[in-house]
Amino acid sequence: MATPTLDKDVSRQTSSLQYLPDASARADDASPNQFLMPLNAKVSDRDTLEIGGCDVPELVKKFGSPLYILDEQNLRKTCQQYRNALSNLYGGESLVIYASKAWSCTAICAIAHSEGIGMDVVSGGELHTALQAGVPSEKIYLHGNNKSVEELALAVEKGCTIIADNWFDLHNLVGLKPASPVRVMLRLTPGIECHTHEYIRTGHIDSKFGFDPTQVEEVFDFVTQQDCISVIGIHAHIGSQIFELQPHGDLGDVLVSWFKKAQDRGLPVAELNVGGGLGIRYTEQDDPPSIHEWIEVVTRSVTAACEKYQVALPKLICEPGRSLVGSSCVTAYKVGSKKTVPGIRNYISVDGGMSDNPRPITYQSLYRSVVANRMSATFSETVTVAGKHCESGDVVIPDAKLPPLETDDVLVVLATGAYNASMASNYNRVPRPAAILVNDGEANVILRRETTEDLLRGDCLPTRLQG
C-alpha cells in the first residue's frame, strides 16, 4: 500500500486531529510503521484521545504519569504482517524473530511468541525474560559483541542459538566444553552503508559488530576443527531506522556468497539471517517503506542470490525490533510549569523527559505530540517541550506546534514503543514509569511504576556511616 498522506508542512497543521490514522489505516494491508499513532486510535465524543478503546486522560488519572500506553492490537497486527509477508513471499522455510532490545518485557515477548515470532536477545537478562514469557529456547538467538562466559553458558544450557560475533565468543564457547555441539551463527560485517544515525549503523566496515570480511576464511578454518561448534548459519545486520530499500537489496548477494563458501568448506549451514533495520514514522517528514515492501526486497534479493550461486533456499530469518513495536506505544505526560524567554522561546515542562525517553538527548531524535484532553484545539503556539530533569539538554520536542497549554493538560508523545522503556533510567533518582497494555477497552499493567523503595533497594550504607 502507499504511504499514508500527512501534511508535511508543519506550519499548515491546525490541531492534534490530523495525527490520527487516516482512512487507509483500516485496510488489512495497512503497515503500522507508516503511521504516527496506533492504527485504531481515535477521538472520542468528549474530544479526548482514545487508544485501544481506552480514554487516555482517564488512564492517566487511574495509572498516573508519565505512562507508557501500548496498543495490543497494533502490536499483533505488526507481528502478523511480518510473519505473513515472509511466509508468502519466500519460497523456503522462514522465521521472524523480535529484536527484543527495542523493549524487553514479559508481556511483549509473550504477545510476540503467541503470534509465532521468535526472539533475539542480547544479554542474560533479555534471555531470562524471553524464557519467562514462554518463548521456546529453539526460537531464541543470543547476540552481543561482548557476551560474558556466564551468558554463553546460560544460552548453551538452555539450548539457544548463539550468534558468534567475534573470536572472543568462539574461544569462550570452546572453553565451556559443551557436552553436545552448540548451534552457532557467524555474524559477518557486510560493508554496506546506509543513511541513518552514525550510532546505529552496524553494517559498515568500521563497526564493533561482527567478523571483518578479511577474517572469513580464518574463521571457517577454526570452526571446522571444533567438534563442540555446529555452524548452522550466517548473519549480518546493516543498521536501524533505515528508509532505503537498496541496502537490503544488496545484502542478499553478500550473505549468500558467504553462505556458499561455508557450504563448500563442509559447514552444516542451513539458516540465513538478514537482520532488521526497517524504520518507522516519527514525524511527517519520515517516509518509511511498508513492511511488505521491505520483505519483498529482502526475499527477492536472497532468492536471486541463491539462484546465482546455485544454493538451495536456506531458512530465512529477519529480526525487526523498532518497526515491530515502535508505533504501538505512546507516552502520556502531565504539563507542569511554563516559561517565556521574550523574543526567543516559550517552554512548557512535563513530568518526565530524558529518564523515560533518552532518544532526543542521545540521537537528537524528533517526535510529535497531541493534547489528549483537547484533541480539536487549534495549534496556535510554538513551544519547546522540556523534561523535568536537571539537564539543559533534557528537551522532549523542540519547537512543537501545539495549542495553548495549561497545567495538568495531558500531552501525549507518539511512537515511543522502541528504545524508550528499554533505555529508561533513574537519572535524578526519578522512578521509571508504569506501562499498560490496552485492548478493546481494557487496560492492564505490564510494568508497574517504580517506587522510592525500589530506588533505595540496592543502596548499601556502611556501618560506620549509620547514625
Find the domain containing 35 and state its range.
10-71+326-454
- Between helices 246-264 and 216-224, what is the axis angle to 10°? 40
Residues 181 and 271 in one domain: yes
Catalytic residues: 390
Question: 275 with 388, same domain?
Answer: no
Q: Coil, helix or strand for 99?
A: strand
Among 320, 355, 387, the domain boundary falls at 320
Q: Is the pLDDT of residue 231 over 80?
A: yes
Q: How many domains does the chain have?
A: 2
Any domain includes 271: yes
C-alpha cell at 141: 538467538
Residue 417: CA atoms inside 13 Å, Cβ hemisphere, count? Answer: 32
- Whether residue 233 is found in the same domain as residue 306: yes
Domain-located, residue 135: no
Which residue in the block uniquely carries the three cell numbers 495497512? 30
Q: Is residue 365 part of a domain?
A: yes
For residues 189 and 304, membership in a common domain is answered with yes
Kind plus residue range of the DSSP H or E element containing 84:
helix 72-89
d(CA 337, CA 128): 41
What is the rounded (10 degree) CA torsion for 384, 386, 392, 394? -120
Q: What is the CATH number of the domain that holds 199?
A: 3.20.20.10
243-268 pLDDT, tens digit per residue, is 999 989 999 999 999 999 999 999 99
Residue 200 has pLDDT above 80, yes or no: no
Cα three-residue angle 267-272-273, rounded to 5 degrees: 130
Domain with 418 in it: what CATH number? 2.40.37.10
Q: Are residues 221 and 158 in the same domain?
A: yes
Same-domain pairing of 314 and 356: no
Model confidence pLDDT, tens digit, residues 119-169: 999 999 999 999 999 999 999 999 999 999 999 999 999 999 999 999 999
CA nearest neighbour of 241 among 196, 209, 204, 207: 196
Helix/strand/coil for 264: helix
138 located within any domain: no
Residue 1: CB atoms within 10 A of its CB come to 13
User: Which strand (E) or helix (H) includes residue 184?
Assistant: strand 182-187
Using an 8 Å Cβ cutoff, are 277 and 238 in contact?
A: yes
* Pairing mode of beta strands 434-439, 442-447: antiparallel
Q: Whole-angstrom Cα distance, residue 463 to residue 467?
A: 9
Residues 338, 313, single domain; the answer is: no
Q: Is residue 245 part of a domain?
A: yes
Select from 296, 320, 344 the last residue of a domain.
320
- Residue 232 falls within a domain, yes or no? yes
Least confident of 109-118, 183-192, 300-309: 183-192
Residue 113 lies in a domain: no
159 plus 38 within the same structural domain: no
Mark which of 300, 320, 340 sits at the end of a domain.
320
Residues 260 and 312 in one domain: yes
